[in-house]
């Protein structure tokens, strides 16, 4: 069984959004253009337990995200 949850994140505020948004790349791109980060959690239940995958779609490049992280948390906290 597969369970999907989707969230949009901006300025530290997280809001749940419909799963249809996460399944459409066009809708993901429209949120990214507005400056949102999209988080998609997929939980797959197997007979051996549950496995959770997290995918993040961000409008920032990895280097830009690292700079923002350092400004907010410093270098001591892993990225």
Does residue 27 lie in a domain region? yes
How many domains are contained in the chain?
A: 1
Q: Name the helix (H) or strand (E) containing 64.
A: helix 62-73
9 pLDDT exceeds 60?
yes
Please state, in angstroms and rounded to a whole number, the distance separating the CA atoms of residues 31 and 76: 31
Does residue 66 lie in a domain region? yes
User: Higher-confidence residue: 65 or 37?
Assistant: 37
User: Is-above-0.75 flag for pTM?
Assistant: no
Enclosing domain of residue 8: 2-73
Q: Which two tokens stand for residue 16?
A: 């749940």
Does residue 46 lie in a domain region? yes
Kindly state the DSSP code that residue 75 receives in the 8-state scheme: T
Please state, in angstroms and rounded to a whole number, the distance separating the CA atoms of residues 62 and 43: 25
What are the pLDDT digits (tens) for 23-36?
Answer: 898 998 888 888 88
Amino acid 78: pLDDT: 66
What are the pLDDT digits (tens) for 44-73?
Answer: 988 888 898 988 888 877 788 778 778 887
Mean pLDDT of 69-79: 74
3-class state of residue 73 by DSSP:
helix
Q: Name the helix (H) or strand (E) containing 72.
A: helix 62-73
Does residue 78 lie in a domain region? no
φ, ψ for residue 76 (rounded to 5)?
Answer: -70, -30
Does residue 79 lie in a domain region? no
């Amino acid at each position: 069984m597969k369970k999907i949850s989707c969230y949009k994140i901006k300025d530290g505020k997280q809001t749940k959004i419909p799963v249809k948004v996460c399944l459409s790349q066009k809708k993901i791109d429209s949120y990214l253009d507005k400056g949102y980060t999209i988080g998609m959690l997929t939980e797959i239940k197997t007979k051996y337990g549950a496995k959770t995958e997290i995918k993040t779609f961000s409008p920032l490049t990895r280097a830009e995200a690292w700079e923002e992280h350092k400004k907010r948390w410093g270098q001591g906290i892993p990225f």
